[in-house]
Structure 1
């Protein structure tokens, strides 16, 4: 599998794992304290070939994703489910611990950022669906993130990602039905 875009990752271990799984170039942020120089290189990469942000499914990874996305508009995003990123020893979470297949699957389901003025899914719909607050909100958001391939997030991040990736009302309703059906089983 050849990837045209440059994949933004956190470190060298991520680069090694990705290069074992696909034919791609990477750009490393070297952690969540992204330098101005690195951000400029990512901007150039976006202009020349496009960028896919592929960070760990944890707080620092999300922080990097937000910083790069805010600075470099139009990025694509690959998300790895937490269960696919856990180290065999159980100590560690990240892209570098994912299997070749998990990395390939995440990169085959890349989501593209889109700017849009109109609100696709109102905040109240998320509240009404039990995704903001409530006893099952976290589990529901986790399942929705997996099904829509937009990663795990808190309620506010879910709202932003639904808009960013232009998830339609119809897609949201279909996924929500699926999640609710699974809960009944």
Structure 2
């Protein structure tokens, strides 16, 4: 994991920065006005992401060989394809949500967006705990891993909704905000007053 950290820290950090940029610019709040922008991003990142994924598959199947640098090339193309595909999936979802029947159906995802850092870190901790406690490293199939991820994420969706009913922020978001602004914003919602 420590060896992969240098490859993964930049993509993850860039995604957080992109989220901050879109929030500051208000792009997500005006999807209809920014439709052509999102469509352009969707097409560019989709084409780049799928091209990089094909190159990654060629590297993993060792059709294209780089000798000692094979693993480094695999990590590089995994990170690059991940960034482009992330933006492709996000813009596709944003454009998809413009149709009102789907917007209400996918409403639970907004809670994960509000608690993105907490969700990301807790997924990492849960998966590390499961892998270490039950000796699952390198033993799970892709299908088993996908099912476990879907179960964890579904539980997190409901937990996030419950949490945000009582609190303004996720715990990690609150700590991050407190550190950033050097003051402690209110965390707990006053549910007694609103009842």
Select the structure of larger CA radius of gyration: 2
TM range, smaller chain: under 0.3
Structure with bigger strand share is 1
- Write 1 or 2 for the structure with the bigger share of helix: 2
Relative to the length of structure 2, the TM-score reads 0.24
